A = this chain, B = another copy of it.
Amino acid sequence: MTEDMSEEARSTGAKQAGRPRRSEQTLLDAAAAVFLASGVDAPVREIATKAGVGVGTIYRHFPTRAELVVAVYRHQVEACADAGPRLLADSVTAEAALRSWVALFVEFLVTKHGLAGALHGDDAGSDALHTYFVERLVPVCGSLLEAALGAVDTAPAVDAYNVLKGIGNLCIGAATDARYEADVLVQLFVTGVLAPRIR
């Protein structure tokens, strides 16, 4: 009970002693700017400098670089997730919906310098990033896939997790390699995934 009260007190207006927290939004804005300029792999120190803040402050708000990245792109990931059902409702065919959604996802990944690369959580640090993307987008991708494959009697060749991660991987390096056409490759990949239906 006492804990509940103190927590509520904190979240309502009753102020506690102590320095006021810097608005996280300030940090997020600075991070977004730096990511835009130098890519998602930009050093934390650079973000701290840009925000006029010590690195400690960043780490107190976002315990890991990956969580900072998640926070910066949360809006856009949510938007991407929300677009799934909408496209499914608005498109004439389920395949068209899937392809539009995939194109959206690819554009998002490619636009953000190095996001796709940071996405495969091999190193322990970027787990948060990987986990968030997967948890949020796999269900969406799954629905679209299911709809697009609905008419088939054979089991799908791969699950939504694999499709999503495959797409993510295909986007790696797209921003830095002019010859690499991630969007085309991804659409061909989708064609392959849907192929059993075509045959």
Show the binding face of A for B, using Cβ within 8 Å.
114, 117, 120, 122, 157-158, 161-163, 165-166, 169-173, 176-177, 179-181, 184-185, 187-193, 195, 198-199
Contact = CB atoms under 8 A, between A and B. Distances in A.
A169 to B, nearest CB: 5
A185 B173 contact: no
B114 A117 contact: no
A170 B169 contact: yes
Which among A157, A171, A190 has the highest number of chain B CB atoms within 10 Å? Answer: A157
Nearest to A114: B122
Nearest to A165: B180
Contacts of A163: 185
Nearest to A188: B192
17 contacts: A120-B172, A120-B177, A122-B176, A161-B180, A162-B180, A162-B184, A165-B180, A169-B171, A169-B173, A170-B170, A172-B172, A185-B189, A189-B189, A191-B191, A195-B195, A198-B198, A198-B199
B158 A165 contact: no
Contacts of A171: 169
